[in-house]
Chains A and B, each alone.
Chain A
Amino acid sequence: MTKTIALVGNPNVGKSTLFNMLTGQNQKIVNAPGTTVTVAKGYWRDKTVIDLPGLISFIHNSVDEQVASQALMDKKSSLYPDLIILLADAMHISRSLYLYSQLKQLNKPIIFAISMADIAKKRNIILDTDLISKTISAPTVLIDSRNKKSVSFLEDSIYEVLYNIENSKENSKDAAVSNLSLWAKNNFENNIKWVSDVEKKLGVFDYDKITLSDRVDKILLNKFFGILFFLLVIFSVFQLSTYISFPIIDYVDGPIRNSLNLAFLNIFSEGVWQSFVQSTLIETIFTLLEFIPPMFFIFVSLAVLEGCGYLSRAALVSDKLMRSIGLEGKSILPIIIGFGCNLPAIKATRVLKTSEIRRQTAFIIPYSLCSARFSIFIVLSHAFFPKNAGIVIFLLYLISVLIILLISFVMKNFRYYYNKWHNIPQTNISNLVIHLPVYQMPKFAFILKSSFAKLQNFLWGAGRVILGVLICLTFLQSVSFAADNTSKAENSPTVHNSLYGVIADNTALIFAPLGFGDWHFSQAIISGFLAKEVVLGSLENSYSDSNKSLSSNLQTTLAKTSSDGSYSNSLTSLAAFSFMLFLLIYIPCLATVIGIKSEFGLKFSFIAVGVSLSLAYVVSLLFYQIGILFVS
């Protein structure tokens, strides 16, 4: 039977880095049994490796800790390990020794792996592995999780321990205590004393020098400069995800797309294959390609911030601000990134260590006005509100922020009453005490490798779904549903005469109370679910479909529908704003939904989509119906 190895340790000791180093890209995210807490599962050689959520103690204080302790105690759990690797930070070793004092009651083989050994060495902190091993009675290795060569010592140790298990004549022992949580609580003082005694024996932790890290903190965590630097970091990350990515996206979507289209036109003769290649394959490739630059920049910048040690400091600086809306300091990063692009923002929630905070942050991210929505609003606001376009866009940004605050407020209160009802402590003390790592130079080769691996995972996962949806859309658009024979006779039906057009026509009825009960807008909303960038293109297509002689651009066309009603249906300013509100609130794009699903599971993604659609409908409905009362 395959042996299972569990990576256990306090939050922020580098478990995930070690996990990635051991398993490479051979990993998947699974939900812990019966919970929404995600656990990374991977394979090292023929062994299963599990990266358990951060654990401070078996006297658990959060759902994440409950999952980790349950997995280690419950023999029936699919996550139950044969071997435990307890990862400790060389600079904060006492907390790991405390966890070890509880873990050893499980009677499981434990390897005590001390990370950041390189930094300890630089500070002249001597970590004598033989002495530690003898004192705590567990094999001890020093590692640098980011260094493959250093990890090989740990691999040797794993082999040795597993070999001993396999060749041991004794059956695996049961845990020394039946209820470890209760035991940990009753023996809390003894365990603290044991840690203190071990520390005295090791005698290497009496270190109080002012280090380079302390000097850097004097500036970066200064009461005034700290805020300025924090804002500068946030601003830089935001710029990377938007303005630096934009020209690359434009180049990919412009010259590269055109030449690829041309190449395929030459390869395939006109017909079904050409249509399939153009409207599905190429569309899928470019929908995915457009996400690559912002996602890659975000992955790299977050890895740099985490690798150099600033991310924990950022959490400390913004802690009070974010706590007021029920989140934690680090949540500010994904939220700000969301205003650039929602998908990398969802992925960026990985920097948050508590699952409930991660879910709450991911839940509000889709309501941030991303750059794709911004590009739609530029055209729509200039078309419908030519004199007040700037004010309209500002209003939409304001509404986006207000919705985020409102939802956070509701979720904060919901959690308050939920915790009260279930007797869960209102404040998770662990989130208020942040152990800060030493500043260090990030390893760029490692960062690039892990960022490419994350991108590859995304492209493979999202690509299949987007391709599937596009095949359905192409099929719907290619099935003719024209009433008259002339149209049926045509080889390629127009959008309105296709099955897709019929669906758009019927869906338009649902949007009638919101003021935009016209098929042009309902089909734009349907295609906007795929990607917001598609909304303008589909509006343009539908209008050129309705009026073959149309030569002006979309903005002029929409402006005409607004002012003189010369096209099929006109939109009043009220209806236009209602349409924009709907576009702002309903789920940003399919890729984001896939991102939410891969990070938090199918159920959570359904809830997120359901809530956003309902909220978009209710807000637009209320705005339009109340607006009518005032206008009339």
Chain B
Amino acid sequence: MLLSDCSINSRCEIVSINLPNDETIRLCELGLSKGTKLKICQLCPFGSVLVSKGTERIGLSSQITNLLEVKYI
């Protein structure tokens, strides 16, 4: 399941990232790696998603939400 398909207030874990290696590294540097647990806080206009990760609130562009495979936890 893609992150873009998740429903609001659900919790999920990133299981894979469909990006080339270099870009996956950058995503990990930004705090989103395989195994990261997220909570979907808000589905925003034009397909962007607001997620929370601990104290952090991260806005993900629609381009990214379609590249992150997740599972509900």
Binding site for B on A (CB under 8 A): 56-57, 59, 61, 91-92, 94-95, 98, 123, 125, 185, 188, 192, 205-208, 213-214, 217-218, 221-224, 226-227, 230, 312-313, 315-321, 323, 425, 427, 429-436, 438
Contact B44 A316 (CB under 8 A): yes
User: Is B16 on the interface with A (CB-CB < 8 A)?
Assistant: no
A221-B22 in contact given A429-B27, A436-B59 (Cβ < 8 Å): no
**A226 and B64 alpha carbons, distance in the complex (Å):** 20
Contact B42 A218 (CB under 8 A): yes
A433-B46 in contact given A188-B25, A320-B61 (Cβ < 8 Å): no
Contact A217 B46 (CB under 8 A): no
27 contacts between A and B (CB under 8 A): A56-B30, A59-B25, A92-B31, A92-B55, A94-B31, A94-B56, A95-B29, A192-B28, A205-B54, A214-B52, A217-B42, A221-B44, A222-B44, A223-B44, A226-B44, A227-B45, A316-B44, A316-B50, A316-B61, A318-B46, A320-B63, A427-B23, A432-B60, A433-B32, A433-B58, A435-B30, A435-B59
A180 CB, min distance to chain B CBs, angstroms: 14
A313-B26 in contact given A192-B33, A227-B45, A320-B46 (Cβ < 8 Å): no
Query: What does DSSP make chain A's interface, helix, strand, loop or mixed?
Result: helix
B7 CB, min distance to chain A CBs, angstroms: 13
Contact B46 A92 (CB under 8 A): no
Contact A221 B42 (CB under 8 A): yes
Binding site for A on B (CB under 8 A): 19-20, 22-23, 25-33, 39, 41-48, 50, 52, 54-64
Give the residue of A214, A218, A223, A323 whose beta carbon is less than 8 angstroms from that of B63: A323
Contact B42 A433 (CB under 8 A): no
List 8 A-B pairs, minimum CB-CB distance, nearest first: A320-B46, A316-B59, A434-B59, A432-B61, A436-B57, A429-B26, A207-B55, A432-B64
B24 to A, closest residue via Cβ: A429
Give the residue of A57, A223, A227, A434 whose beta carbon is less than 8 angstroms from that of B26: A57
Contact A429 B31 (CB under 8 A): no
**A226 and B54 alpha carbons, distance in the complex (Å):** 24
Contact B45 A226 (CB under 8 A): yes
Contact B41 A217 (CB under 8 A): yes
**A39 and B56 alpha carbons, distance in the complex (Å):** 28
B30 to A, closest residue via Cβ: A433
B6 CB, min distance to chain A CBs, angstroms: 14
Contact B23 A429 (CB under 8 A): yes
**A94 and B25 alpha carbons, distance in the complex (Å):** 15
- Known contacts A59-B25, A218-B42, then 6 further A-B pairs from the complex at CB < 8 Å, ordered by chain A residue: A94-B31, A185-B25, A316-B59, A323-B63, A427-B63, A430-B26
A residues within 8 A CB of B39? 208
Contact A56 B26 (CB under 8 A): yes
Contact B44 A188 (CB under 8 A): no
B residues within 8 A CB of A123? 55
A317-B45 in contact given A188-B28, A207-B54, A207-B55 (Cβ < 8 Å): yes
A residues within 8 A CB of B33? 192
Give the residue of B23, B28, B61 whose beta carbon is less than 8 angstroms from that of A425: B23
Contact B50 A221 (CB under 8 A): yes
A residues within 8 A CB of B30? 56, 95, 429-430, 433, 435
B56 to A, closest residue via Cβ: A92
B20 CB, min distance to chain A CBs, angstroms: 8
Give the residue of A320, A323, A433 whose beta carbon is less than 8 angstroms from that of B27: A433
Contact B64 A433 (CB under 8 A): yes
